[in-house]
Amino acid sequence: MSGNVALCPCGCIGKRSKGSFLEKTLRGASDPLRQTMFSEDVARQPGILQQADPRAKLIGMIVLLVAAGLVHNSLSLAVMYVATLGLAAGSRLSLGFLIKRVWLFVPIFTAIVVLPATLSIVTKGDIVLQLWTWHGEPQGFTRQGLLTALLVVSRVAVSISLVVLLTITTPWTKLLAALRSVGVPRFFVLIIGMAYRYIFLLLETVTEMYESRTSRTVGAVRHDKAARSFVGASAGALLGKANHLSEEVHQAMVARGYRGNARVIDEQRLRRTDLVFISVAILSAAAIVVGDRFLGR
């Protein structure tokens, strides 16, 4: 096994072995996901969003998402994003955590997707940065294309931020019950709930299978045909375990009276503050849309 020279904590010179890609992937994916998804500490904090009823939050977020999809000015989306950060601060969330969780994934990927639309060969307009010439015509980034890309990325960032706020500040069971109460099909809610609960169990199973194999391996692990056969056999065994587990879980849920509806122990009613929350969300969305129309003139 290859290794690179490194210093151990005691200061002695030694070799630090490089783990396999599969091992790094399993260890890197299991712990952060389990800590992030299983932790409900944030949802129990006394913040603004945590105190609101899940149904009120869901309705308010849907209204704001519709407003984000209707606006056509990046300045309006910037105002919505700042308001989203204010909601996060009022809910005692780490702004750094929210920003990294949002911007390191979907908006950056969206920017890569819409990048071709910024070029003059796709979007005609005023060229702000020339890259090449084609038959004597300058080609490059256009102002209209850049503004369109900025609008799309801003809209995605605002939408994902709202969704992240809703999921972080709401316990998972209450969120499923809120989805069911607003008319989401119970089959859809059932699939989401089961996937959320048992994806981590399957991940733990894969990790245990890999660790049991490495604990019985003498010497260096070889990435040859036998290793690839182990990966294929493990995938087949995992599929069989998942199928068997799904049957057992379904039978246990039916035996306990489950009929497809997500239920919570502490049933809550919409309070006056929840109605105020919904009203504020609707008024804010209307103000954003109307203000965007004035900015567009």
Distance CA 17, CA 78 (A): 47
**Of 11, 98, 16, the residue nearest 49 (C-alpha):** 98
User: How many CB atoms within 10 Å of residue 170?
Assistant: 24
Scan for tokens 């603004």, then name that residue: 48
pLDDT at 278: 93
Q: Output helix, strand, coil percentages for the chain, rounded to the nearest 5.
A: 70, 10, 25
User: How many CB atoms within 10 Å of residue 239?
Assistant: 11
Task: Name the pTM for this structure.
Answer: 0.73
pLDDT at 8: 46
pLDDT in tens, 270-291: 888 889 999 999 999 999 999 9
Query: Got the DSSP string for 54-94?
Result: HHHHHHHHHHHHHHHHH---HHHHHHHHHHHHHHHHHTT--
| pLDDT confidence tier of residue 213, bands split at 50, 70 and 90 | confident
Local structure of residue 222 (DSSP, 8 states): P
126-to-79, 131, 143, 297 alpha-carbon distances in Å: 27, 13, 6, 20
pLDDT in tens, 67-82: 999 999 889 999 999 9
More confident residue, 156 or 199: 156
Whether 46 contacts 258, CB under 8 Å: no
| pLDDT confidence tier of residue 135, bands split at 50, 70 and 90 | confident
Name the 3-class secondary structure at 237: helix
Whether 288 contacts 162, CB under 8 Å: no
pLDDT at 260: 63
pLDDT at 105: 72
Mean pLDDT throughout 47-57?
89
